[in-house]
Amino acid sequence: MAQIRIYNQETNTYLSIDFNLQQAISDTTTTGDLDCYLIISTNVPTVTGGTFPRFKVRTLSDVPTGYVAPAANFDQLCQWYYEYITVESQITLSSSSSSSEQYSSSSSSSSECYSSSSSSSSSSSEGYSSSSSSSSEGYSSSSSSEEYSSESEGNISSSSTDQI
Amino acid sequence: MAINFNIYSPSNASTKTVVVDFVADYLASNSGVSASTKYFFKFTTSARKTDNSRYDVRIVEALDDLVLDEGVKKQRITNTAAAYTDIKSMIMDYIYDYVQGHDAGEYGTTVTEQLPMKFN
């Protein structure tokens, strides 16, 4: 699973965006084939205080509303979702003024959130990696569409013990 | 959350596992001046090939990262150069390649020989 964590310095809490690889028998086909897809979920609140839907991604054309499909690769696709969610929720990011590179050491001061991304694999080793946030090309509009509704969203409440 | 694919060999009554995960990590090839994480699929297995050698970890960043990449860029199952249509077809093709291996020159003279998975 890949996860972006967004740290709020004022409340010492985290929000997160999760990218989960999942498999299931698809209920949309009559063949009963196994399907594999990404589920993108977040506990970042929308600007109105609501919750984002869970996004189901099967192809590189499953992009957020307002972006031009297809994404070039999964790296770009995930950055678009990150950008879409943070823009929609109007989270202020300290590193948002930086270049198009994904990593930026935050320098500008007047903001409240710091973001990091990390990954974990159930099978092996790789450790923690921090990074993130950028503003890249493409975003334009607002309302969300491609949502995946299934079980209710697991609300990952922030753990105050975590440290960057 | 990783997905485990168990591959069973009836003739050997044994099972091997290929683990597929979606991660965000630094790639060594991407380090240097521009340090950034990359999002990609990662295939790992502790199974061995029939010559007892290990499989390399395989990285997939896009649906046009085709499994046969030794100069021919082909899908393993269909022998086409078209990008995979979805995540499922990409994963299945990579799993198939892990299990079956392929012979030198099967789809072109530049294909490096690989060996099937060892179950005994």
> ipTM score of the complex?
0.83
Chain B nearest-CA residue for A128? B25
Tell me which DSSP letter residue B86 carries.
Answer: S
Peptide bond into A70 cis (omega under 30): yes
What pLDDT was estimated at residue A55? 96
> Does A21 contact chain B (CB < 8 Å)?
yes
Q: Do B81 and B74 touch, CB atoms closer than 8 A?
A: yes
CB contact under 8 A, A121 and B35: no
Residue B18: name the closest of B55, B53, B66 by CA: B55
The DSSP string of A11-41 is TTEEEEEEEEEEEEE-TT-SS--EEEEEEEE
Interface subset of A 50-79, CB within 8 angstroms of B: 57-60, 72-75, 77-79
Measured between alpha carbons, how far is A4 from A88 in angstroms, rounded to an integer? 16
Q: Which residues fall within 8 angstroms of residue A48, CB to CB, at 6 or more apart?
A: none
> Does A44 contact chain B (CB < 8 Å)?
no
SS (H, E, C) A48-95: CCCECCEEEECCCCCCCCCCCCCCCCHHHHHHHHHHHHHHHHCCCECC
Measured between alpha carbons, how far is B93 from B84 in angstroms, rounded to an integer? 9
* Interface with A, mutate which of B37, B60, B63 (most A CBs under 10 A): B37
Q: What is the mean pLDDT of chain B?
A: 83
What pLDDT was estimated at residue B68? 81
What pLDDT was estimated at residue B70? 61
CB contacts, 8 Å: A103 with chain B: 34-37
> Does B35 contact chain A (CB < 8 Å)?
yes
CB contacts, 8 Å: B82 with chain A: none
Measured between alpha carbons, how far is B34 from A102 in angstroms, rounded to an integer? 9
> Does B82 contact chain A (CB < 8 Å)?
no
Binned at pLDDT 50, 70 and 90, residue B116 comes out as confident
Tell me which DSSP letter residue A162 carries.
Answer: -
Q: What is the mean pLDDT of chain A?
A: 68
Question: Cα-Cα-Cα-Cα dihedral of A100, A136, A76, A131, to 10°?
Answer: 50
Measured between alpha carbons, how far is A48 from A36 in angstroms, rounded to an integer? 32
> Does B28 contact chain A (CB < 8 Å)?
no
> Does A124 contact chain B (CB < 8 Å)?
yes
CB contacts, 8 Å: B20 with chain A: 21, 36
Binned at pLDDT 50, 70 and 90, residue A80 comes out as very high
Per-residue model confidence as pLDDT tens digits over B37-86? 789 999 999 999 988 989 889 999 999 999 886 667 888 888 888 999 99
CB contact under 8 A, A20 and B2: no
Q: How many helices (H) and strands (E) does chain B have?
A: 1, 4
CB contacts, 8 Å: A81 with chain B: none
Q: Do B117 and B101 touch, CB atoms closer than 8 A?
A: yes
pLDDT: is B5 or A26 the higher one?
A: B5
